[in-house]
Every structure is written in C-alpha cells, then in structure tokens.
Amino acid sequence: MKHEILAPLVGESITEVSILKWNKKNGEAVQAGDVLLEIESDKATVEIVAEHAGALTILKSDGEKVPVKSVIAFIDDSAKGTASASPGAVKAPPPPPSSGSAGSAAPGAKSPPPTPSQSASSAQLESLSPAVRKAVVENQVNPAQIQGTGKDGRILKGDVMAFIASGGARSAPTVSAIPNVQDKPGDRRVPMPGIRKRIAERLVFAQHTAAILTTFNEVDMKPVQDVRAQYKDSFEKKFGVKLSFMSFFTRACTLALKQLPAVNASIDGTDIVYHDYCDIGVAVGTERGLVVPVVRGAESMSFAQIEKAIGEMALKARSNKLSIADMTGGTFTISNGGTYGSLLSTPILNPPQSGILGMHKIMDRPVAINGKVEIRPMMYLALSYDHRIIDGKEAVTFLVTLKDLLENPTRLGLDFT
C-alpha cells in the first residue's frame, strides 16, 4: 500500500512551504520514525517524520515551493527499497503558468518588492491572507476602505480587485522599481531562504508603517557584575542554569514597562492596545537568521525561571525546533548586539510592538564618579520606539528607569540571594 506524505499545514496564514532538505534518498528504505525531510515556511522550520516503513518515492525536490497539504512523496510498504539509491529527489515537472491573475508578470520578468501601504496598520495587514495582503500592498490601497464579502466580513482578493476597479483611491504613491542586479563573473546567485524573506519583509514593513525613533543612554554595569560574581556559582548549583545578564535586563524591563505602559503597547488602526502583561521577545542569532522567541509572563517570573525560559528558547532556535507559537504574541523585544561586539546600534521594531531595547558590548571607559575619574564597565543602551504612541519623554524615562534599576540591582528583587 502507498502512503502519501503531505506538505504540512504550519500556520493559519501559510499557504505554501519550501522543501529545505531531504534527509533520505529517492527509493531508499525507511523506517517509521525516521526524519525524512525538513520543511521551511516563512516563520519556522519543521521536520517531517515517516509514519510507515517501506520504500520512499520523492515527488518534490530540494528547494521547491509546494502548496500546503499537497503530496510531496509517498512510502510503499509493500516494497523493500534500497539504501544505495541514487541521491537526490525526482524533479517534478514545473506547474503550468497561471493566467488571468491580478498582478501577474510576463515570463522572466522580475517584479519589484512590494512596499507596505503607508495608511495600513500592522495589525490590518497581518490579519489578511497572504494573497489579499500581496494585492493590497502591490496596489497601494488601504484595507480599511474595503468592504469584505468573506466569512465574518473578511476581505477577499476579489474585494480588493473590485475596489480598485470601482476607482478606489491608492493610499500612497507607487515606489519606483529597484533595478535588477546584472550578474558578472564571480557572482553567485542562490534563492533567498523563506525565513530570510520573512525577516526582510517584516523589517521593511516596520520601517514603512511606524514612526521609528531611537534614544540612547548608558549604564554602569559594575553593580550587576558584582552581584553576578558573588552569586553565579551558588545560582548554577541551585537552579541548574547560569546567571546571565539577560535575566537582570529582562527583570528590569518588566518593571520599567509597568511604569511606562505605552512602551509595552501596540497600535491597531486608530486604537491603542495596552498589555497588562510582559511577553518579552528575546532576539537570538542563528545560522539561518535572527529569530525572536517569546518569554511569556516574564513579569511574574523569578530570575531562575527567566534564565531557564531564555535558555530553552535559544536551544530550540539554534536547532530549528521553534514553532510559530514560540515566536508570536510578544509585547516588547530585547536584542543583545553586544554578544557579537556591537558598541552601538539602532534596533528596528518588531511589529506590532512599539518598543525594542538594544543591549551592547560592555567596555571599560573613564567616567566621572563623585567628582573623580574612574574606569568603569559601561554599556550603551538604545531604545527604538514608535513615536506615534510613545513620546520622547516616555522613551527617555524608560531608559533612565532601566539605568537606575541596573545600577541599583537590589531594586530588582534579587530572589536568589
């Protein structure tokens, strides 16, 4: 009997996935529980495991994009298969070109990357299906002006086209196309991974939909270093995790966010959504790009719980085990560029969040302490924020509050001492 292997449904808004890598060969014998391949969406990487034993027939090869729930291979449990099959997948014939679809281009033509509508909010675009979002962005229309005819008033692609045909106004001028790169000897062209496309899309989206401004301060890290040096051994022995700077910063951020709730809020159309909890996104660098898993309910966590949560998320990120749920729903983000030696940077918002804190490298610098020059371990802090919702006074106050808490760490509630 032949058992079909389907491209998985990895998220409500995901309509297609890419085959990242087959771990088995075409015709190879596989056992139930074997990892067959890795599937990549624009949000996560998922491993597909064999549910049956038999001979594997591969229908879609590495790098191909396939619709979710489509057949990509099958396992024949009546065949033995061989472990010495020729490597590589059977190349499936290319799908026929679509005709009559809105926004289609001539064969071989490259379309410029879509630019998000200046008038559409983050929440508005994120709530649309990929096809509708693409139509809205490419045609520069405001979805708030479109009457949806789908279930529960959802906007369909036909609604967008009908709106444009009826003379619907564009919300912003069309951006000029970026000239194509002409390959020269020594150039090497490879497809952009799905996760990198998603990162690029969200960064551009943030730049076009938020009024991003960055403010800076610096903090003397000696008090935190002293506490960490005093308790790191007993902390690790008691809780089984290391005491890092991240738990100090996460705790400090949750306390500062309670005092400055706008920094923890989001904009949805003409509404401000305040969050009475702190789901902190922690940016983690991986070989395939930057991902931001979320530590939920950080405001009620102990130092040990924060360290364990961050450690688990970082491990999942670096082993490509993060789920979509792990990376959605954050209210504020912390990015530590200092891990790579960055002295100063201006981090970009992670929509629909309104604030992101950038940590940087700790460097010994001369500073004035009580009228005398001393060498202290100093760190620059950067807060990028959405000026539509956060005023300069609130942003500066947030950083000053962080500085005060970190330079007086007993105010953090050191529950491990």
Positions marked catalytic: 387, 391
Mapped onto helix, strand or coil, the DSSP state of residue 373 is strand
- E-state strands within 289-330: 289-291, 294-295
What backbone torsions phi and psi does residue 5 show, to the nearest 5 degrees?
A: -110, 120
Q: Which of 252, 279, 417 is nearest to 352 (CA)?
A: 279
State the Cα–Cα distance between residues 178 and 200, nearest whole angstrom: 15
* 266 touches 324 (CB < 8 A): no
* Distance, CA of 364 to chain centre: 33
* 378 touches 363 (CB < 8 A): yes
The tokens for 345 are 């940077």
Listed in sequence order, the residues at least 6 apart from 207 whose beta carbon sits closer than 8 Å to its beta carbon are 348
Number of CB atoms found within 10 A of residue 358's CB: 24
* 403 touches 380 (CB < 8 A): no
Q: For the purposes of burial, counting CB atoms within 10 Å of the CB of 391, is it exposed (0-12), middle (13-18) or buried (19 or more)? A: exposed
Measuring CA to CA, how many Å separate 22 from each of 48, 94, 386, 390?
10, 19, 42, 47
* 243 touches 228 (CB < 8 A): yes
